[in-house]
Structure 1
Amino acid sequence: MKISSSKIIIESLLLENVEFIFGYPGGAVLHIYDAIFKTKIKHILVRHEQAAVHMADGYSRSSNLVGVVLVTSGPGYTNCITGLATSNFDGSSIILLSGQVIKKLIAQNSFQELDNLNISNPIIKNFYSLNCYYNIQYIISQSFKKTFFLKKGPVVIDFPKDLTSSINILRNKYPFIKKKKLIINNNIKLKLNYKRPIILIGGGLKDKKIFNLFNNFIKNIKIPFISTFMGLGGFNYRNPYYLGWLGMHGDACVNTIIHFSDIIICLGTRLDDRITNNNDKFCPYSNIIHIDIDLNSISKNIYCKNFFLCEIDFFLKKKFFYKNIKNWWKFIIFFKNFFYKKYKNDFLFCKPQNIIEFVFYISRGKFFISTDVGQHQMFAAKYFNFNFKCFITSGGLGTMGFGFPSAIGIKFANKNKKILLITGEGSFQMMMQELSTCKQYKINIFIINLNNQSLGMVKQWQELNYNNRYSQSYIYSIPNFKKLINSYNFYSFNFYNIKKFYTFFQNIFFLDIFCFINVYINQKENVFPIQIYNKSMCEFIAFFSIKKYEKKFYFFNF
């Protein structure tokens, strides 16, 4: 059977069960777009290439499918760099198809020609540059395997325009390629002869086959577990052994408890700086055991003498021996009760903590939550309890503008689910042109904009570290969001009072509409606790630091 090289790109994607392509056309990829026009594959036209990658990211993370992006050469590709870096940090499966100038013009500073490989090499998992149109189906097939193999990540394919021309005719399609088998470490023998154990889980546990395994593992081993920020949504939050999440803005009790633990079993986390604070002072009493599929993540920041390079589901099937830890549980319960009070209620003004708790109470956690980056992101993580894979945010790179296009991608992957974007006015304005995409494809999502008329996290740091010098942290020219949203024929509402918001959201939750809810919150409200830079885990700004009481805990009595 004869088929053009541009068409076989689309046919190869269809063979991999690709339903959507997120992209923006340009001269270097017009042959491919012409092939799309003649097939049933659904192309989603974005308004900015960065948004296309974020949509594919949200699509992939919420569905365990591969998000596919198609952009043109030069500026079309460079606009995707932030999205690729976000995907690489947080481990989502994305394949980016990038146009390129014809082969003879490469490396000649041609119009819209760039060295895509060297621009993106540090932030992607793999890069393929097409050198012969006979390799198209092989490269695409390999890309889908690479993006899932070991740790997930983005893969880029560079297509010179002359190799995607309809003139090039291929005779053979879809060569058979053997799947690579992952070699795992079978020698896992572990005796938990420790008095203060803790299990730390990360984003690597967000997998359906691991979800039930982990619940059974915790049920059998009866050891308390905590989560990283990226691990939220990877487990059952109702589990009685779950204590909370740790890190810079994590729960005060969790940061304290892990500091005094004597063994930490790390599952699918790279132990980055937002978790550990000062590496030299991180958990001085602990022996760390690291289980991960990615060798590069082990001892990356914190040295781990004991580690197992294997798939997490394999580790969770093993049986372990452990000691009685009743005294450790008494210690945990004491600090859980001590740090129970989180914030002061105020039923006149809108507090972000109240907003998030009300949304969870009304929805019962049935939302897919996407957030941007800032104070609203931390409030959402602290006061909303997430079901499996229902929390999608930029945790590794911290990309402002990620939330809105990500929420659109989540909706494409979960058509019958309700999607909620929690954002701030600073982040939303970075990608608000995608309102046009929502209108074109009739995307219905709820957006709660926690509007404090400032760059909240920047402002908080300036209060704590720069003696209240608010340099460029207040936004003095915010648009009239209600008129902006109404101009796209969407619903929009403003709220200043918490009681009115609560009554309104109870009624609107059941509707399937696009609704932008602009909530003016207290400008002085900040995210606490916050760890003190370069200190240990238990030193943070909250009620007080537990560090000065450290010598009063006699661990030998445990």
Structure 2
Amino acid sequence: MKFVSSKTIIKSLINENVEFIFGYPGGAVLHIYDEIFKSGIKHILVRHEQAAIHMADGYSRSSNKIGIVIVTSGPGYTNCITGIATAVIDFSSIIILCGQVNKNLIAQNSFQELNNLSISLPIVKQFYSLNCYYNIPYLIKESFINTSNYINGPIIINFPKDLTNFENIVRYKYPIVFKKKKKILNNFFFNINNYKRPIIIIGGGFFKNKKKKKIENFILNTKIPIVCTIMGIGRINYRKFNYLGWIGMHGDAISNITLNFADLIICLGSRLDDRITNKPELFSPYAKILHFDINDNSISKTIFCDFFFKKINSIENINFKLNKKWWKTILYYKKKFIYNYKNSWKNCIPQQIIEIIFYLSRGKYFISTDVGQHQMFAAKYYFYNYKRFLTSGGLGTMGFGLPSSIGIKFANKNNNVLLITGEGSFQMMMQELSTCKQYNINIKILNLNNQSLGMVKQWQELNYSKRYSNSYINSIPNFKKLINSYSFFSFNFYNIKLFYYFFINIVKKDLFCFINIYININENVLPIQITNKSVSDFISFISKKKI
């Protein structure tokens, strides 16, 4: 069967069961857009190309599907760079179809022509540039295999406009691409009983392992203390007695203390970045590190790992004798360092707000966050199931929340989606309210409004003697009027009791609702690690230490 080359692109996507494409049209991709119009694929028109990447990111992370994006050449593609960098650090499966000028105009400073390869090479998993329209089916098939094979990540396909026009006829045959065989490491034998204070770290890559059930059995049967990274939140059942919480700069006190005094760290799918380790020279000084990760680049990146394995074979056969003294110490510190913030039924306390939402929703919401104090409150006080917590954990992209929430809703139509954001982050991508209106996207938005850039202000308070340089926002819009201009519901709250009774009534309803809560501007995220110290040196609710 013969198709024009632009139709071959769409036909290839249909054969991969693509339901949605997120994008923004432009001259270099109009041939493809014309075929989208004729096809059954639903195109979601964003208001900014960066939002298209975040939507595809949220769509992919909250499902087992691959997010597809289409943008035009030049500024259309460069607007995607922040989103692509977000996706590559958090290992999201995205394919970006990028337009390009005609082949004979490339490298001539043509209108809307840039060297996309040079711009994006450090932040993509793979970059393909189409040089012959006969290769279209193969490139798309290869991209779908590569973006979901072993290490996920964004893939770019660069389409010169003249190779997608109606004059190019392709004899379409769905290509067969064989996966390359990977060498499997032999079973390892590790005498875990030589160590008395082990701990397991669960990272974001934990559930990407095909042997996750065996790993879960090993974790639960050995009764070894478990902690997770912020990207690993929800990867293990929070109700398990040996789950302590998450680690890192704003992680739980008991988790960081246990990590610091461990003599064996079993790391599953985490790259142990600087937000986990604090000062590398002081990180877990008594511990040997046993690291499992399919990504070679994640090994010994910040911290030297004593043992490294790509594959986990027969891990469920490892036996470990429970060390009662180790657990007695952990339980002592767990009782000492509890979340003892002061509840109030008058003022709006962000920790209490998140706990109310968890209680009323019974943990069934998909939660997306932006980046800042609200992100940490959401991670600490709401308990998650697998793939229910989406955040920009690696790059820390403000503006990620709203478009990713839209993507989550497209992938999970019958589920409630809640965006937890702050006024600084929300204003970065608030133009996507228009996308919500066009496609009737019903998400709930909780804006924890402290009238400042909360995380920046907290750092300035602790590290810069309360010199608040440009951390206060003096021109915040009237969110109620803004949201109402899109014909959406919007509510302001200054009292947590009123919010509680309001949320009871909407918790199960599928509607768009913007909830603007004015919280205490002096409320900080605690505990917080002290800069350039060990992971167990932190300021907590009961600590009197100062930096």
Q: Same fold (TM over 0.5)?
A: yes
Contact in 1 for aligned 2:215/2:316 (Cα 8 Å): no
Q: Label 1:545 to 1:344 Cα distance change in 2 as closer, same or farther (>3 A).
A: closer
How far did 1:445 drift? 0.5
Contact in 2 for aligned 1:224/1:242 (Cα 8 Å): yes
Contact in 1 for aligned 2:141/2:175 (Cα 8 Å): no
Equivalent in the alignment of 2:138: 138
Cα distance in structure 2, aligned partners of 1:128 and 1:482 = 45
Name the SS for the 2:438 alignment partner: helix
Contact in 2 for aligned 1:211/1:235 (Cα 8 Å): no
Cα distance in structure 2, aligned partners of 1:545 and 1:309 = 40
* One-letter code aligned to 1:114: L
Structure-2-length-normalised TM-score: 0.97
Equivalent in the alignment of 1:68: 68
How far did 1:174 drift? 1.5
Q: What does the per-residue CA deviation read over 1:358-410, in whole Å, with 9 as the maximum and x for residues that have no partner?
A: 00000010000000000000000010100111000000000000000000000
Q: What does the per-residue CA deviation read over 1:307-354, in whole Å, with 9 as the maximum and x for residues that have no partner?
A: 1012xxx44753113233111110110011010243122221001001
Which of the numbers 414, 417, 420 marks the counterpart of 1:419? 417
Matching of residues 353-502 of structure 1 within 5 Å? 353-502=351-500
Equivalent in the alignment of 1:125: 125
Cα distance in structure 2, aligned partners of 1:316 and 1:391 = 30
Cα distance in structure 1, aligned partners of 2:209 and 2:438 = 33
* Structure 2 spans left out of the alignment, 5+ residues: none
* One-letter code aligned to 1:474: Y
Equivalent in the alignment of 2:94: 94
Equivalent in the alignment of 2:21: 21
Equivalent in the alignment of 2:304: 303
Contact in 2 for aligned 1:278/1:535 (Cα 8 Å): yes
Cα distance in structure 2, aligned partners of 1:212 and 1:432 = 40
Equivalent in the alignment of 1:554: none
* One-letter code aligned to 2:453: L
Q: Is 1:240–2:241 an aligned residue pair?
A: yes
Contact in 2 for aligned 1:368/1:418 (Cα 8 Å): yes
* One-letter code aligned to 1:31: H
Cα distance in structure 1, aligned partners of 2:492 and 2:184 = 54
How far did 1:38 drift? 0.8
Contact in 2 for aligned 1:214/1:316 (Cα 8 Å): no
Contact in 1 for aligned 2:339/2:541 (Cα 8 Å): no
Name the SS for the 1:158 alignment partner: strand
Equivalent in the alignment of 1:551: none
Cα distance in structure 1, aligned partners of 2:174 and 2:376 = 46
Cα distance in structure 2, aligned partners of 1:177 and 1:210 = 25
Contact in 1 for aligned 2:56/2:68 (Cα 8 Å): yes
Q: What does the per-residue CA deviation read over 1:62-81, in whole Å, with 9 as the maximum and x for residues that have no partner?
A: 00210000000000000000
Equivalent residue pairs, number: 544
Cα distance in structure 2, aligned partners of 1:249 and 1:293 = 27
Cα distance in structure 1, aligned partners of 2:266 and 2:331 = 20
Contact in 2 for aligned 1:538/1:545 (Cα 8 Å): no
How far did 1:545 drift? 6.7
Q: Is 1:57–2:57 an aligned residue pair?
A: yes
Contact in 2 for aligned 1:194/1:323 (Cα 8 Å): no
Equivalent in the alignment of 1:555: none
Cα distance in structure 2, aligned partners of 1:182 and 1:495 = 56
Name the SS for the 1:206 alignment partner: helix
Q: Is 1:282–2:283 an aligned residue pair?
A: yes
Equivalent in the alignment of 1:552: none
Matching of residues 129-208 of structure 1 within 5 Å? 129-192=129-192, 193-207=194-208
RMSD: 1.4
Name the SS for the 1:333 alignment partner: helix
Range 427-436 or range 202-211, more displaced: 202-211
Name the SS for the 1:63 alignment partner: coil
Q: What does the per-residue CA deviation read over 1:110-132, in whole Å, with 9 as the maximum and x for residues that have no partner?
A: 00000000100001100000000
* One-letter code aligned to 2:146: K
Cα distance in structure 2, aligned partners of 1:218 and 1:512 = 38
Q: What does the per-residue CA deviation read over 1:509-540, in whole Å, with 9 as the maximum and x for residues that have no partner?
A: 12111000000000000001111111111111
Name the SS for the 1:321 alignment partner: coil
Cα distance in structure 1, aligned partners of 2:58 and 2:279 = 32
Cα distance in structure 2, aligned partners of 1:138 and 1:159 = 14
Contact in 2 for aligned 1:207/1:234 (Cα 8 Å): no
Q: Label 1:180 to 1:546 Cα distance change in 2 as closer, same or farther (>3 A).
A: farther
Equivalent in the alignment of 1:256: 257
Structure-1-length-normalised TM-score: 0.96
Q: Label 1:499 to 1:315 Cα distance change in 2 as closer, same or farther (>3 A).
A: farther
